[in-house]
């Protein structure tokens, strides 16, 4: 009976000692951070640039999602042929640029973690919670997006669906954050602080809006000593340089002019027939059926089904076009394709160009084994049922015996190993 009270006393004693030690820890206060990087003007400038890059990333990502999962009201043109290439390239480039900007932004504001008291009011608590949501969702979007670019998926969820959902959470929290901080941002961007006054400047602890306009105050701040570390301008220049280096190092994946200087450019120039391969025939499980001599392409219309052998397809009028193929992962590359135009194939079976087509692949279990080819593309003479790539018969990894290649369309919808076309 005496053991339990003694145990409780012992636990209480340990807790008391622990609380005492925590109180003695040298936890800094917000006002102790003197580096120029923690100035609100620095934070506002980096935050403004981050808002631009993140907004571009969100809008272009939203476009890609709508193209792949189009609602009835959505329309995506087939011209110009490079349109999707540009939007998806902008998506990845703006996402890459956002990474150093986000890190610099967090560095500039992290002294606020040591603000006292931790929570001053309910609105202040809600503001801190919204910043936590913003930081978490932004980190999630940028890190998973970068891993997607590298085709590395160390998670068990379906990336496009979760990435799309969290994007809305991130952009919503950004808008709330901007609305809350707009007065601070306006003040910071319209008032130049004197050199040397780059210490932490927070509206909660100080307001220089009046004092820094007086010459004598500016002189005192100027002679008070320089802040620790880089100057405000030095930190901003370092941030812009780091962002530029990150962009140039990766942009070659979608910008041909930068291909020779983009050391971290992925995919382009690699693969068979001079074109990258995301999904091989082995992975798709079509090596036997694609090479089967009995393979036939079925074209289903209201009048019935017509089947074509590979020889019969080659006997039809052939067209050569140069089109880029652009992947949702951000890389793109132009290639020379040769095959039958979809409009002429539709006319050959008694249908008309401009109808919607359901395209089915020999692949049975892939996420994109069936795609929809809208009328905008089936009426475009650059949309091909391709049989050749860069002057050679299609390699099996590029879709032999035939594949779809259409202008301004995501690579995942350029269906390979086509087995059936259905007029809707």
Amino acid 215: pLDDT: 38
Mean pLDDT of 2-16: 67
Residue 229: pLDDT band (50, 70, 90) is low
Amino acid 154: pLDDT: 87
Separation of alpha carbons 156 and 103, rounded Å? 27
Q: Are 319 and 341 in contact (CB under 8 A)?
A: yes
Range in 37-41, 60-64, 213-217, 383-387 with the lowest mean pLDDT = 213-217
Amino acid 138: pLDDT: 92
What SS3 class is residue 290? helix
Amino acid 207: pLDDT: 40
Count of alpha carbons within 13 angstroms of residue 147, beta-carbon side: 12
Task: Say whether pLDDT at 24 is over 80.
Answer: no
The whole model's pTM is what? 0.80
Strand-pairing partners, residue 308, are 297
Amino acid 225: pLDDT: 45
Cis check for the bond before 80: say yes or no (omega within 30 of 0). yes
Q: Are 403 and 377 in contact (CB under 8 A)?
A: no
Separation of alpha carbons 270 and 335, rounded Å? 13
Range in 59-68, 150-159, 292-301 with the lowest mean pLDDT = 150-159
Task: Say whether pLDDT at 122 is over 80.
Answer: no
Range in 123-137, 345-359, 402-416 with the lowest mean pLDDT = 123-137
Separation of alpha carbons 166 and 65, rounded Å? 13
Positive or negative, the Cα torsion across 199, 200, 201, 206? Answer: negative
Amino acid 214: pLDDT: 40
Q: What percent of the chain has pLDDT over 70?
A: 82
Q: Are 57 and 91 in contact (CB under 8 A)?
A: yes
Question: 159 Cβ partners below 8 Å, 6+ apart?
Answer: 144, 148, 153
pLDDT tens digits, one per residue of 357-382: 999 999 988 888 999 999 999 999 99
Domain boundaries, the chain: 30-258, 281-423
Range in 80-94, 246-260, 338-352 with the lowest mean pLDDT = 246-260
pLDDT tens digits, one per residue of 183-222: 888 888 886 544 444 444 444 334 443 334 443 343 344 3
Amino acid 205: pLDDT: 38
DSSP letter at 94 equals H
Task: Say whether pLDDT at 403 is over 60.
Answer: yes
pLDDT tens digits, one per residue of 281-325: 999 999 999 999 999 999 999 889 999 999 999 999 999 999 999
What CATH number was assigned to the domain covering residues 281-423? 3.90.420.10
């Amino acid at each position: 009976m005496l053991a339990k009270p003694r145990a409780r006393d012992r636990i209480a004693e340990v807790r008391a000692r622990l609380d005492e030690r925590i109180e003695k820890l040298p936890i800094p206060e917000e006002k102790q951070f003197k580096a120029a990087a923690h100035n609100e003007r620095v934070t506002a400038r980096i935050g403004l640039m981050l808002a631009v890059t993140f907004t571009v990333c969100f809008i272009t990502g939203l476009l890609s999602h709508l193209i792949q999962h189009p609602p009835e009201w959505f329309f995506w043109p087939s011209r110009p042929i490079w349109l999707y290439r540009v939007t998806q390239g902008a998506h990845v480039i703006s996402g890459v640029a956002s990474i150093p900007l986000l890190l610099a932004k967090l560095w500039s504001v992290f002294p606020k973690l040591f603000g006292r008291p931790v929570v001053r009011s309910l609105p202040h608590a809600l503001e801190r919670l919204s910043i936590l949501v913003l930081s978490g969702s932004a980190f999630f979007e940028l890190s998973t997006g970068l891993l997607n670019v590298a085709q590395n998926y160390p998670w068990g969820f379906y990336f496009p669906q979760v990435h799309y959902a969290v994007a809305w959470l991130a952009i919503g929290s950004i808008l709330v954050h901007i609305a809350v901080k707009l007065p601070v941002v306006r003040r910071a961007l319209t008032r130049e602080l004197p050199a040397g006054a780059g210490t932490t400047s927070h509206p909660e602890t100080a307001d220089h809006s009046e004092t820094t306009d007086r010459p004598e105050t500016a002189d005192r701040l100027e002679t008070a000593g320089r802040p620790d570390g880089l100057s405000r301008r030095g930190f901003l220049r370092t941030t812009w340089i780091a962002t530029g280096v990150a962009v140039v190092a990766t942009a070659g994946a979608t910008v041909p002019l930068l291909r020779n200087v983009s050391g971290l450019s992925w995919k382009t120039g690699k693969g068979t027939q001079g074109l990258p391969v995301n999904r091989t025939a082995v992975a798709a499980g079509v090596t036997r059926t694609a090479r089967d001599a009995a393979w036939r392409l079925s074209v289903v219309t209201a009048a019935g089904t017509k089947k074509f052998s590979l020889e019969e397809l080659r006997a039809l009028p052939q067209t050569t076009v140069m089109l880029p193929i652009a992947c949702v992962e951000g890389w793109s590359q132009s290639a020379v394709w040769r095959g039958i135009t979809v409009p002429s194939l539709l006319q050959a079976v008694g249908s008309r160009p401009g109808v919607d087509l359901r395209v089915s692949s020999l692949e049975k279990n892939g996420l994109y084994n069936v795609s929809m080819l809208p009328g905008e593309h089936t009426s475009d003479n650059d949309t091909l049922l391709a049989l050749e790539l860069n002057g050679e018969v299609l390699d099996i990894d590029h879709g032999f015996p035939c594949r779809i290649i259409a202008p301004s369309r995501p690579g995942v919808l350029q269906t390979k190993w086509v087995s059936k076309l259905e007029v809707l």
